[in-house]
Amino acid sequence: MHQHTQYRKNPEAVSRLNPEQYRVTQQDGTERPFANAYWDNHEPGIYVDVVSGEPLFASVDKYDSNSGWPSFTKPIARTNVVEREDSSHGMIRTEARSLNGNSHLGHVFNDGPPEKGGLRYCINSASLRFIHLDDLANAGYGEYRTLFTSDTNTSTMTGKETM
């Protein structure tokens, strides 16, 4: 999808984060399972980085992983989610971070639905802002409405497609 906005880490947005959002996004924290805003959200819409506003995940790719965190099979644009090795807590995992906001989002695991590629993007609600499908245009994300039509929500955007 063609992006009309330059997304970046916004110091003003960082200053407005609540303590949990700051701990998760800026200090690589993890929120409690089943006690966060979006783990059981079933509304249509997209999830954007709470710091930069960059589009990250769509509800059409969200599923219940029984983990207590929002889980997605893929990002809206693979280029907006950076994966890197995380060896904290005595284990090796794949961390997911937003490209432009550099926010810690969560982790990527290989135990997702096999028919959807096998990945599980296990994401902290505190790193996200949800924009309902009905509000996409007013919030400046109108181009992402196409993700919710049956002929376009079957493939991940690479970040290079144009409308």
Beta bridge partners of 10: none
- Cβ distance 105 to 123 under 8 Å? yes
Tokens of 82: 């950076």
98 catalytic, yes or no? no
* CA-to-CA dists, residue 158 to 8, 31, 33, 124, 151, angstroms: 19, 29, 30, 23, 16
Catalytic entry in 105, 122, 123, 157: 122
- Cβ distance 118 to 112 under 8 Å? yes
> What is the distance between the alpha carbons of residues 103 and 25, in angstroms, rounded to a whole number?
5
Between the CA atoms of 142, 131, 147 and 122, what dihedral angle is there, to the nearest 10 degrees?
Answer: 150
Q: What is the DSSP string of 56-85?
A: EEEGGGEE--SSSS-EESS-SBGGGEEEEE
Q: Which residues are catalytic?
A: 122
